[in-house]
Amino acid sequence: MTRIPRIRLRKPYLILLGDEHDPINAKTGFGIVHWRRADVAGQLRAPGAAVDLGVPDLGIDAAADDGVGSLVVGVAPVGGAVPAAWWDVMVDAARAGLDIVAGLHTKLNDNPALVEVAGAHDVRLVDVRVPPRNLPVGTGKKRTGRRLLTVGTDCAIGKKYTALGIDSAFADAGIDSTFRATGQTGILIAGEGMPIDAVVADFIAGAAEVLSPDNEPGHWDVIEGQGSLFHPAYSGVSLGLLHGSQPDAFVVCHDATRECLSDWEHFALPSITECIALHERVARRTNPAACCVGIAVNTSTLPVRKRSAYLEALAAEHGVPAVDPLIDGCSDIVAYVRKTFG
Residues that bind a second copy (CB under 8 A): 78-80, 105, 136-141, 196-202, 204-206, 229-230, 232-241, 243-244, 264, 266-267, 278, 281-282, 285-286
Shortest reach from residue 92's CB to a second copy, in Å: 27
Query: 101 or 239, CB closer to a second copy?
Result: 239
φ, ψ of residue 32 to 5 degrees: the values are -65, -45
| CB 5, min distance to a second copy, A | 16
> CB pairs under 8 A, 24+ apart, for 301-309?
301/255, 301/256, 301/257, 301/258, 302/256, 302/257
CB of 125 to a second copy, least distance (A): 20
Q: Which is nearer to a second copy, 283 or 330 (CB)?
A: 283
Which CB sits closer to a second copy, 200 or 309?
200
Roughly what angle, to the nearest 10 degrees, separates helices 27-35 and 159-172?
A: 10
Burial of 77 (0-12, 13-18, 19+ CB in 10 A): middle
CB of 226 to a second copy, least distance (A): 9
Cis peptide, bond prior to residue 325, ω within 30 of zero: no
Between CA 152 and CA 297 the distance in angstroms is 10
Shortest Å distance, C-beta 68 to a second copy: 30
Closest to a second copy by CB, 12 vs 206, is: 206
Closest CA to 125 of 71, 178, 164: 71
Give the C-alpha separation, 5 to 131, whole Å: 7
Nearer to a second copy, 119 or 232 (CB): 232
Taking the complex as a whole, the smallest distance from the CB of residue 239 to a second copy amounts, in Å, to: 4
Length in residues, the chain:
342
Nearer to a second copy, 168 or 262 (CB): 262
Nearest in space to 66 (alpha carbons), one of 37, 33, 96: 96
